[in-house]
Amino acid sequence: MSDSIILGIETSCDETAVGIVQGRTLLANVIASSVDEHARFGGVVPEIASRAHLEAMLPTIEKALRDSKVTLADIDAIAVTAGPGLVGALLVGTSAATGLALGLGKPIYGVNHLAAHISVDALAHRHPLESTIALLVSGGHSSLLQINDITSSIAQLGATMDDAAGEAFDKISRVMGLGFPGGPAIDRTALDGDPEAIDFPRGLTQPSDWRTRPFDFSFSGLKTAVARYLEATPDFHKANVAASFQEAIVDVLLLKALAACKESGIDSLLIAGGVAANSRLRALASQRCEKSGVRLRIPRPDLCTDNGAMVAALGSLMVMAGRPGSQIDFEATSSLPVTTLSLTS
Ligand code: KG4
Ligand code: ZN
């Protein structure tokens, strides 16, 4: 029997995204982004995002079906982001998904956006992910996780105490005048800079922090340090500031991720979420993991930032593991914790 075909819908933030996956094979991945409509506000405006999702939903589903050369009748289950995210934006996706599931008479999986970021890894590998430490770094979340089976449970080892890593990129980009979203802008600008030009602070890496909060992050001190530096240095060198700031974030993320591997005795690291698209994080992770004998997995850059394939991938893993779907009236939950993989009631 051939693998089930899953259609996944993602609308937690500013991307209306639909992916279609068969087993572990990606058939289609279509993204309509409203990012340009938010750029002049310097961040995502929830009301604008919800309206853009409404307009883009049907064309995006239709394009995904065309790209994958399957019809709605071929779809075996629907997966949709149930949270965390902007509630108005989530509701557009969950309404479309429940409508489809009811119309087709197929099961629905209301899944966790963060677990979906991690699950997209399944599309690049034939075999299930073994026990791994996962570094999840996005615009809204930064956590270190321990995962044995992504369809059954996730344990959180640590998380950010203030800003998420992507949020820090976005805020510093704004004060540097590099635009929104900040991550890609800083990544590009840093290419011409010296990462050692300015010694910015590495949050929660003092000896006492390693004793009490070894796997937590804090980026607010770094943010303040960069803002002060910019104020005190009117003719600052953009590329050097971007490279040094990026280095401080990436260094701490990897120090803590590799410490988690060592402490848990797990020699596998998966990095996921929008910030995992960062070129310096990818390069330094591969150097340091090689040195430490840790196997590294990072999804290809376009599957790190928000997409529908990741939602379909988690739905597909759930179906392959024989997990039950959600009740048709499950509720989108804006603050869904990373440890809740899917809504079962
Ligand atoms: O996972 P994601 O697409 O959306 C959320 O779930 O939040 O992550 C978006 C975040 C933004 O903060 C964006 O600036 C950051 O990921 N990001 C990057 C890069 N590409 C996206 N950060 C650093 N370097 C990048 N190349
Ligand atoms: Zn995301």
The CATH number covering residue 245 comes to: 3.30.420.40
Q: Is the domain of 55 the same as that of 15?
A: yes
Å from CA of 184 to ligand 2 middle: 15
Nearest CA among 169, 199, 171, 203 for reference residue 187: 169
Q: Are residues 44 and 143 in the same domain?
A: no
Ligand 1 atom with minimal separation from the 170 CA: 14
- Spacing, Cα 338 to ligand 2 middle (Å): 12
Residue 249 in contact with residue 169, Cβ under 8 Å? yes
Closest protein CA for atom 23 of ligand 1: 183
Give percent of the chain above pLDDT 70. 100
Atom of ligand 1 nearest to the CA of 173: 14
Q: What are phi and psi of 105, to 5 degrees?
A: 70, 35
Q: Report the pLDDT averaged over residues 169-196.
A: 96
233 and 322 inside one domain? no
In the prediction, which pLDDT does 43 show? 86
Q: Report the relative pairing of strands 153-159 and 142-149 from DSSP bridges.
A: antiparallel
Clarify whether residues 167 and 237 are in a common domain: yes
Residues 84 and 189 occupy one common structural domain: no
Question: What pLDDT is stored for residue 129 in this prediction?
Answer: 78
By residue count, the chain amounts to 345
Between 345 and 193, name the one with better pLDDT: 193
pLDDT band (50, 70, 90) for residue 25: very high
Q: What is the mean pLDDT of the chain?
A: 96
Atom of ligand 1 nearest to the CA of 181: 14
- Atom nearest to 15 CA in ligand 1: 3
Residue 136 clears pLDDT 70, i.e. is over it: yes
Number of independent structural domains in the chain = 2
Q: Whose CA is nearest to atom 13 of ligand 1?
A: 183
Give the pLDDT confidence score for residue 42 in this predicted structure: 83
Which residue's C-alpha comes closest to atom 26 of ligand 1? Answer: 278
In this prediction, what percent of the chain has a pLDDT beyond 90? 94
**What pLDDT is attached to residue 127?**
81
Pair 253, 153 in one domain: yes
User: Residue 219: which of 249, 242, 193 has the closest Cα?
Assistant: 249
Q: Enumerate residues lining ligand 1, CB below 6 A.
A: 13, 138-140, 166-167, 169-170, 181-184, 187, 273-275, 277-278, 305-306
Same domain, 272 and 156: yes
What are the tens digits of pLDDT across the range 87-124?
A: 999 999 999 999 999 999 999 999 999 999 999 999 99
For residue 282, the CA-to-ligand 1 centroid distance in Å is 13
> 85 alpha carbon to ligand 2 midpoint, in Å?
9
For residue 326 the two structure tokens come to 């959600």
Together in a domain, 139 and 169? yes
Chosen domain end from 265, 282, 298: 298
CA of 13 from ligand 2 middle (Å) equals: 8
For the beta carbon of residue 296, count every other beta carbon within 10 angstroms.
17
| 171 and 277 both lie in a single domain | yes
CB 108 within 8 A of CB 76: no
Query: What range does the domain containing 330 cover?
Result: 5-123+304-343
Q: Ligand 1 mean position to 323 CA, how many Å?
A: 30
In this structure, the answer to whether residues 152 and 288 fall within a common structural domain is yes
Probe target for ligand 1 pocket from 120, 138, 253, 304, with the most ligand atoms within 8 Å of CB: 138
Instruction: Give the pLDDT band of residue 128 (cuts 50, 70, 90).
Output: confident
For the CA of 167, the nearest ligand? 1
Q: Give 18 Cα–ligand 1 centroid separation in angstroms.
A: 18
Q: Do both 147 and 212 map to the same domain?
A: yes
Residue with CA nearest ligand 1 atom 18: 183
Quick one: 168 and 25 in the same domain? no
